[in-house]
């Protein structure tokens, strides 16, 4: 069974890192994973999109997903084309202060999370991606929480190691925000 996730936001929200964290966590658990990225040249503010596919067998998925089972929307900008590709009934974790959920299709299962506020409370504004990832994994159980934390730590370059505890708190707080929902 393959599961696809499309993540969309703007540069600076940690979109690429959260997608990579999930893909690495799945790989470390011995499963098959694929990660595609699509972003422009700007460091902040431009479109940032990524897709992750996880499965228990060699993946059939294409590097440009025709459709996806689930999504994380971190920002309303650049999100329209993503929403069109989410299959009906799929879980969509939404950064509630930056995405107007009323414009989303009625057949999507939307899980709003005020990721920005949670990030600032337990870590910092930069951790918003990990809040969304923690929330997503709580709803979908794609990988174990331990695998997420381990992957997050592994991906930190040496000069950012000091952020590991804060990122872990962000992952946990995101999960807590959607606890009991799935």
Partner 1 sequence: MSRELLEGSAAIAESAIAAGCRFFAGYPMSPFTGLLENMSQRLPAAGGVCINAESEIEGVNMTLGAAAAGFRAATGSCGQGIALMQEAIAEAALNETPFVVFNMARSQQDYFQCTRGGGWGDYRTITLAPADVPEAVEHTQLAFHLADKHRAPVIVYGDPLIAQTRVGVSIGRRDFGPVPAKDWALDGSTSGTGRSKQVWTWAMGKATEPGPGPDKHWRAIADKFDAIEPLEQRHEQEHCADAETLVVAFGSAGKFVAYVVDELRAEGHKVGWFRPVTLWPFPGPALEAAAASARRVLVFELNAGQMVDDVRLNVPDRRRVQRIGGVSISESGLTYGELMDAPIIRQRILEAVR
Kindly list the residues in this chain that would bind partner 1 in the complex (CB under 8 A).
20, 23-24, 26-27, 30-37, 58-60, 62-64, 66
Compute the least distance from the CB of residue 118 to partner 1, in Å.
27
Pairing of strands 109-113, 70-73: unpaired
**Is 26 or 133 the residue whose CB approaches partner 1 more closely?**
26
Reduced to 3 states (helix: H, G, I; strand: E, B; else coil), residue 108 is coil
Compute the least distance from the CB of residue 51 to partner 1, in Å.
9
The span from the CA of 163 to the CA of 4, in Å, is 28
Rg of the Cα atoms in the chain: 15
Compute the least distance from the CB of residue 145 to partner 1, in Å.
19
Longest dimension (CA), the chain: 44
**Is 62 or 103 the residue whose CB approaches partner 1 more closely?**
62
Q: Name which of 139, 126, 5, 134 is nearest 61 in CA terms.
A: 5
Compute the least distance from the CB of residue 68 to partner 1, in Å.
12
Compute the least distance from the CB of residue 20 to partner 1, in Å.
7
Compute the least distance from the CB of residue 157 to partner 1, in Å.
14
Q: Do residues 22 and 138 make contact, with C-beta atoms less than 8 angstroms apart?
A: no
Q: Do residues 71 and 52 make contact, with C-beta atoms less than 8 angstroms apart?
A: no
**Is 58 or 180 the residue whose CB approaches partner 1 more closely?**
58
**Is 49 or 111 the residue whose CB approaches partner 1 more closely?**
49
**Is 59 or 120 the residue whose CB approaches partner 1 more closely?**
59
The span from the CA of 50 to the CA of 35, in Å, is 7
Q: Name which of 179, 162, 142 is nearest 26 in CA terms.
A: 142
**Is 33 or 178 the residue whose CB approaches partner 1 more closely?**
33
Helix (H) or strand (E) holding 84: helix 80-85
């Amino acid at each position: 069974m393959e599961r696809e996730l499309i993540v969309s936001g703007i540069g600076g929200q940690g979109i690429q890192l959260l997608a990579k964290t999930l893909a690495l966590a799945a790989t470390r658990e011995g499963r098959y994973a694929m990660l595609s990225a699509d972003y422009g040249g700007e460091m902040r503010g431009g479109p940032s999109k990524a897709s992750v596919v996880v499965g228990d067998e060699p993946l059939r998925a294409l590097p440009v997903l025709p459709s996806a089972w689930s999504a994380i929307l971190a920002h309303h900008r650049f999100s329209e084309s993503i929403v069109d590709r989410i299959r009906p009934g799929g879980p969509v974790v939404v950064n509630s202060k930056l995405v107007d959920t009323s414009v989303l299709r009625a057949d999507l299962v939307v899980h709003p999370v005020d990721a920005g506020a949670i990030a600032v409370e337990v870590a910092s504004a930069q951790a918003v991606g990990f809040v969304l990832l923690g929330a997503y994994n709580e709803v979908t159980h794609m990988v174990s929480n331990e695998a997420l934390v381990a992957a997050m730590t592994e991906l930190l370059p040496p000069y950012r190691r000091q952020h590991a505890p804060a990122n872990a708190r962000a992952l946990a707080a995101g999960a807590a925000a959607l606890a009991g929902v799935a």
